[in-house]
């Protein structure tokens, strides 16, 4: 899959780290100020784990935004 194809098939409502809903206000059509990430710190290690094709395109979820030493993403139910 080409880089352009990966970007066009990227689900902006899903966390690129775990695949769960990211709860992004912007993806939901709401004002950016209402997003959970405006009130909650996002760990730098979580941002560093973002795949290059998702950077600036899809948000991580609140659970993945928390620092998880030794456990980079939360498990899916």
The ranges assigned to domains in the chain are: 3-65
> Model confidence at 1, in pLDDT bands (50, 70, 90)?
very low
pLDDT over 80 at 26, yes or no: yes
pLDDT at 8: 52
DSSP string, 42-66: --HHHHHTS-GGGTTTSPPPHHHHS
Q: Is pTM beyond 0.75 here?
A: no
């Amino acid at each position: 899959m080409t880089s352009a194809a990966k970007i066009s098939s990227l689900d902006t409502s899903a966390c690129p780290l775990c695949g769960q809903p990211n709860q992004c206000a912007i993806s939901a059509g709401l004002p950016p100020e209402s997003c959970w990430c405006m009130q909650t710190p996002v760990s730098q290690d979580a941002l560093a784990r973002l795949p290059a094709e998702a950077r600036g395109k899809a948000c991580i979820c609140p659970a993945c935004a928390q620092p998880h030493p030794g456990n980079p993403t939360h498990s899916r139910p």
